[in-house]
Amino acid sequence: MSRQQAIQAVEAYFDDGRFFTDLNERVRIKSESQNPERIAELHRYLHEIIVPQLEALGFRWQLVDNPAATEHEKAWPFLLAERIEDPAALTVLTYGHGDVVRGYDSQWKAGLSPWEVVVQGDRWYGRGTADNKGQHTINLAALTQVLEQRQGKLGFNVRIILEMGEESGSPGLGAVCATYKEQLQADVFIASDGPRLGADHPTVFLGSRGSFNFDLTVRLRDSGHHSGNWGGLLSNAGTRLAHAWASMVDSKGRILVPGLLPDSLPQSVRDALKDISVGGGPNDPEVDPQWGEPGLTPTERVFGWNTLEMLACKTGNPEAPVNAIPGLASAHCQIRYVVGSDSQHFIEHIRAHLDQHGFTDVEAAAHGMTQMEATRLDPQDPWVQWALSSLAQTTGKTPVLLPNLGGSLPNDVFAHILGLPTLWVPHSYPACSQHAPNEHVLAPVCREALQIMAGLFWDLAEQGEGIRQQRQQ
């Protein structure tokens, strides 16, 4: 019984094809949470896939209806489970989501399907392979092998929350965690989602940027009017919208609304990011070094600062333009933001800015998914150094530490509502085509991820109590 034997056990699990079989079984379930026709599949994933595995590991479990599911009573269910060896022992909470975005079946490359794992070289294609079925499959498999190697006694307690609505914005997650707060209490949160910094870089991140979506709309008149007869006499909704947007963000992507910026970039975050580079992979887009906030490195811009993006806009009839001055224009926009931002008053800041610059005719309203708040565990927290040491021991590599993910996750629920230190160990990579056709994982990354998580769970059993006591001092 040793750490190395646990790692060898997960290597065998990957090498003999069991991981592929388990992943393929999960991918075959069409658990599209954005598709009302797939509600039964969301429940099937929990009942047929997750529950039998947890029962075999000695977990007690319950299914919880989503309090936010108003349109479809049984949509986006939750599974809560726990395996308690000793109520006084260290407890870890882990998380995953079994739902996926729509398959977009017809858009995949020839020979591929979103609902079957297809292997082409190191790439394993299928919807959910990266986000998030593959990732929580890895974690549960590693936990299983560590439990077997430790002869049925982990030495710590495990609690799990698995949701089926993350791709719809995690509706109800906060309410469920608030309701079941005592049942979900733990000493540390460890889970996996999102990408590594790069395929060859084992990564730990400590939170995520927040995400706030909003619409800008200019409504000048009910219909368009002939541009020859009325040009020069009628204001153009598209022109008004374009200038309003230009007052908010300049031609190089710098945010011009002070209320949408964070209060600072902490030195601890600068230190954590100083040796990290973004991009450069074979499938990565080329980074524009002149884009965004001046004075920051590209890495600081994506992990340590806020961005303001226009995601879509429309005026007139783009598909079939006509000679008419449009009376309506709209844009769907997004702020990605870090800790230290006044996120509860973004719309008020936008409204005040537009009014100040003479754009009283531009409406601003929040729109879209549930807002995910920015979170970031202190990089100096003892749990952080413990995790980095474990990954280094397992892989022989220096792991990357990101203070927060550039994207957004519902980490605020675990960090704020449950009050937990949060560690994320991702098992995907940036070019995985997450949310797009041809989603995939890399086989070598999956194998290394199994090794990492087996080592991490083993070290939690051996060292976790000492870290808990250190944090309490």
Output the pLDDT for position 124. 98
Output the pLDDT for position 291. 95
DSSP symbol at 166: G
Question: Cα separation of 441 and 444, whole Å?
Answer: 9
Q: What is the DSSP string of 333-401?
A: EEEEE-TT--GGGHHHHHHHHHHHTT-TTEEEEE-SSPPB--EE--TTSHHHHHHHHHHHHHHSS--EE
Output the pLDDT for position 176. 97
Q: What angle do CA 105, 110, 115 make, to 5 degrees?
A: 40
Output the pLDDT for position 280. 76
Domains recognised in the chain with CATH numbers: 3-208+374-472 (3.40.630.10), 213-262+306-366 (3.30.70.360)
40-48: which pairs have CB atoms within 8 A and are 24 or more residues apart?
A: 42/75, 42/76, 42/77, 42/98, 42/99, 42/164, 42/165, 43/74, 43/77, 43/164, 45/98, 45/99, 45/164, 46/77, 46/79, 46/98, 46/162, 46/164
Contact 413/174 with Cβ under 8 angstroms? yes
Output the pLDDT for position 71. 62
Whole-model pTM over 0.75: yes
Output the pLDDT for position 278. 87
Output the pLDDT for position 408. 86
Question: Cα separation of 152 and 217, whole Å?
Answer: 60
Output the pLDDT for position 69. 75
Output the pLDDT for position 372. 84
Question: Cα separation of 238 and 227, whole Å?
Answer: 13
Question: Cα separation of 159 and 279, whole Å?
Answer: 35
Output the pLDDT for position 74. 73
Question: Cα separation of 114 and 129, whole Å?
Answer: 9
Low-confidence ranges of the chain (pLDDT < 50): none
The β-bridge relationship of strands 91-97 and 157-163 is parallel
CA quadruple 405, 409, 410, 412: dihedral, nearest 10: 20
Q: For 68-106, how does the pLDDT look when each residue is reduced to its tens digit (9 = 90+)?
A: 876 665 789 999 999 999 999 999 999 999 999 999 999
Output the pLDDT for position 369. 60
